[in-house]
C-alpha cells in the first residue's frame, strides 16, 4: 500500500523526504495538528482590505483527516490549531466553523504558540504534525514530529535549506492556494489506511459519522494572540 501511495503522490509532484513507512510510523504518535495559514491555505497575497482566504476542498480535507484520526483512536479527536503571524479573520472564521481547538493570531514568534499548546494539552512536540510554508515556521518545523512543507516554486533556496536541515518529511506537489492542505490530508489518510473508510462513512452519514460530528461540534474554539511576549486570549469585537 505504501508503494502505491508513494507513486500516486509523486505523480502529483510531491516529494517524500522521509520514506512513506517512516512518515506512517511518525503519524502513529501524532496527537495534534497545527496549520500555518498564509501560504498554506492560500497564496499569501495581502493588501489593504485583502485577507488570505481558504477553499472548501481544504476544509473537507481537514474534516476528513480529523474523522480518520477519530476512527483510528477510539473516538478521540486530535488537537487542532491554526497559527498565523498576521490578523486573519478568515482563519478565525474557519476555526470557529470547523470547531478547531485553538487559533493563534498575530503571533510572529510561533515557537511561543507551540509551547502554549503543548502545555495546555500536555503533549510533546514529537506528537505534533505541522503544515507550513516559510521561514517564520521553522522554529516549529524544527521541533514537531512530522512536518509537511507546502511547495512554492519561487523558493528553491528555502526548500534546499529545509532539506539540508531535515525540517520536513514531505513537500507537496501543489502550492498554497492550490489545495495543498487537501493533498496532505489525503496523503495522511492514505498512509494510515483510513481513506476508504472515511469516504464510505461520510457518504453513508450514518450513526458513526453523526457521532463524530456531534463530538466535533461540541469542541470550543479558543483564540489567542501575543502581547508583551506572552500568549493571551484574543479579544473579539
Per-residue pLDDT tens digits of the chain, which is 237 residues long: 899 999 999 999 999 999 999 999 999 999 999 999 999 999 987 766 656 789 999 999 999 999 999 999 999 999 999 999 988 899 999 999 999 999 999 999 999 999 999 999 999 999 999 999 999 999 999 999 999 999 999 999 999 999 999 999 999 999 999 999 999 999 999 999 999 999 999 999 999 999 999 999 999 999 999 999 999 999 876
CA-to-CA dists, residue 151 to 44, 173, 201, 208, 224, angstroms? 13, 6, 31, 35, 28
- Own/partner contacts of 46-51, CB < 8 Å, gap of 24 or more, are 46/86, 51/88, 51/89, 51/90
| 1 contacts: CB under 8 Å, gap ≥ 6 | 190, 193
pLDDT at 217 (0 to 100): 97
Under 8 Å between Cβ of 148 and 26: no
- Give the domain ranges of the chain: 2-221
Q: Which CATH superfamily is domain 2-221 in?
A: HAD superfamily/HAD-like (3.40.50.1000)
Residue 72: all three cell numbers together? 483510528
Under 8 Å between Cβ of 194 and 71: yes
Amino acid at each position: 500500500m505504501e508503494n502505491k501511495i508513494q507513486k500516486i503522490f509523486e505523480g502529483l509532484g510531491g516529494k517524500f523526504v522521509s520514506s512513506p513507512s517512516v512518515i506512517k510510523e511518525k503519524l502513529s504518535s501524532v496527537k495534534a495538528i497545527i496549520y500555518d495559514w498564509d501560504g498554506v491555505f492560500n497564496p499569501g497575497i495581502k493588501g489593504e482590505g485583502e485577507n488570505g482566504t481558504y477553499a472548501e476542498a481544504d476544509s473537507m480535507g481537514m474534516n476528513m483527516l480529523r474523522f480518520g484520526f477519530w476512527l483510528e483512536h477510539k473516538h478521540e479527536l486530535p488537537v487542532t490549531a491554526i497559527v498565523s503571524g498576521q490578523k486573519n479573520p478568515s482563519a478565525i472564521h474557519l476555526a470557529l466553523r470547523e470547531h478547531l481547538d485553538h487559533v493563534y493570531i498575530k503571533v510572529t514568534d510561533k515557537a511561543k504558540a507551540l509551547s502554549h499548546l503543548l502545555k495546555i494539552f500536555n503533549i510533546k512536540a514529537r506528537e505534533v504534525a505541522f503544515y507550513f510554508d516559510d521561514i517564520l515556521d521553522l522554529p516549529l518545523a524544527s521541533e514537531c514530529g512530522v512536518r509537511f512543507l507546502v511547495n512554492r516554486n519561487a523558493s528553491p533556496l528555502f526548500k534546499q535549506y529545509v532539506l539540508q536541515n531535515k525540517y520536513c518529511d514531505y513537500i507537496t506537489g501543489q502550492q498554497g492556494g492550490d489545495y495543498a492542505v487537501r493533498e496532505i490530508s489525503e496523503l495522511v489518510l492514505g498512509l494510515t489506511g483510513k481513506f476508504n473508510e472515511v469516504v464510505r462513512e461520510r457518504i453513508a452519514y450514518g450513526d458513526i459519522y453523526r457521532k463524530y460530528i456531534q463530538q466535533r461540534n461540541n469542541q470550543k474554539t479558543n483564540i489567542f494572540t501575543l502581547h508583551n511576549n506572552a500568549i493571551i486570549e484574543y479579544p473579539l469585537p
